[in-house]
Structure 1
Amino acid sequence: MTRPTTRRMAEVSGAEALWLLEGSAHGRLAFVQREQAVVRPAVHVLAYGRLVVRAPVQAELLNARPVLTYQADEIRLPAGSGWSVTVTGPAEPVDPVEAAHHLRTLPGWAYGPHDTLLRITPQTVTGHRLGSATAAP
């Protein structure tokens, strides 16, 4: 007889959450526009403790928002295992010299005015590991 399994979510430290984030390449940039939550797909790299994000959004929309949220995850279904990480912190545009490098190395979804590179300095980092456990008899 098989025992039922239950899904579990365990919080991880900020250091482990950043380590998980460093091992992935894509996520979602979240911000508020006209009093509505907006979520855009994005790619990222963790460099020198800061998150460099390339997202299909106009830079002008982000300039008025000094704090942004970035979320990434890797969830394997149907097992329900994996992880999820959320980073929130002040954001700034990437300087042109550094931007040239990241425009070559981070693939974008949109080019032109809807292609933005920004740097988020993590202030709040939360992460969870997802898994399952067999229920006790």
Structure 2
Amino acid sequence: MTSAARRMVEVSGTEALWLLESAAQGRLVYLRREVAVVRPAVHVLQYGRLIVRTPAQEAALAGRGLLTYHADEIRVAGGTGWTVTATGPAGVITDPDEAAHHRRTLPGWAHGPHDSLVRIHPQTVSGFRLAHPEAK
């Protein structure tokens, strides 16, 4: 089946969060010197907030205000899957007990100054399912 035979169907914010909750990995996106930086990340959705562990320097994330998180699951062979983007105010998790808990429960790629924990309060959530035309 060609890519022209596929379509993207927008999903509700609730479904997008449900899809995001089903994923374990994604990408944290932020600006540094007016250039988009994308870092791999792992996450958990907890009480409507995203807890993200990423190999980005805490100093680069502190005071950012808004952060964007993106996750997807694309099955190229079948031409199906989904993509979700969430944006909202964020802050670095500084409480030592909370940080220790999330470091135990969320696997990381790097330790030390390139290992940050961030809490994002999603205000804008958009999602799309990739489907075949016959799917409803």
Does structure 2 retain, via aligned residues, the 8 Å contact 1:8–1:132? yes
Counting matched residue pairs gives: 132
CA deviation map 1:76-128 (0-9, x unaligned)? 01222010000000001222211111100101011000000010000100000
Higher deviation after alignment, 89-98 or 34-43? 89-98
Does structure 2 retain, via aligned residues, the 8 Å contact 1:9–1:128? yes
Structure 2 counterpart SS, 1:111: coil
- Partners of 1:24 and 1:112 lie apart in 2 by 25
Whether 1:20 aligns to 2:24 is no
- Partners of 2:104 and 2:132 lie apart in 1 by 39
Deviation at 1:64, TM superposition (A): 2.9
Q: 1:47 is matched with which residue?
A: 46
Q: TM-score, normalised by structure 1?
A: 0.92
Q: TM-score, normalised by structure 2?
A: 0.92
Q: Which contiguous aligned blocks of 4+ residues in structure 1 show a shift greater than 6 angstroms?
A: none
- Partners of 1:5 and 1:51 lie apart in 2 by 34
- Partners of 1:105 and 1:64 lie apart in 2 by 25
The AA in structure 2 aligned to 1:66 is: G
Instruction: Return 5+ residue gaps in structure 2 as ranges.
Output: none
Does structure 2 retain, via aligned residues, the 8 Å contact 1:43–1:54? yes
Deviation at 1:5, TM superposition (A): 6.8
- Higher Cα Rg: structure 1 or 2? 1
Q: Which structure is higher in strand share?
A: 1
- Partners of 1:11 and 1:42 lie apart in 2 by 24
Deviation at 1:58, TM superposition (A): 0.6
Structure 2 counterpart SS, 1:17: helix
Q: 1:107 is matched with which residue?
A: 107
- Partners of 1:63 and 1:99 lie apart in 2 by 15
Does structure 2 retain, via aligned residues, the 8 Å contact 1:79–1:132? no
Q: 1:68 is matched with which residue?
A: 67
The AA in structure 2 aligned to 1:26 is: Q
Q: 1:119 is matched with which residue?
A: 119
- Partners of 2:58 and 2:65 lie apart in 1 by 12
- Partners of 2:117 and 2:21 lie apart in 1 by 17
Instruction: Return 5+ residue gaps in structure 1 as ranges.
Output: none
CA deviation map 1:19-77 (0-9, x unaligned)? 00001100000001111110000000000100000000011111131100000000001
Considering only aligned residues, what root-mean-square deviation do their CA atoms show, in Å? 1.6
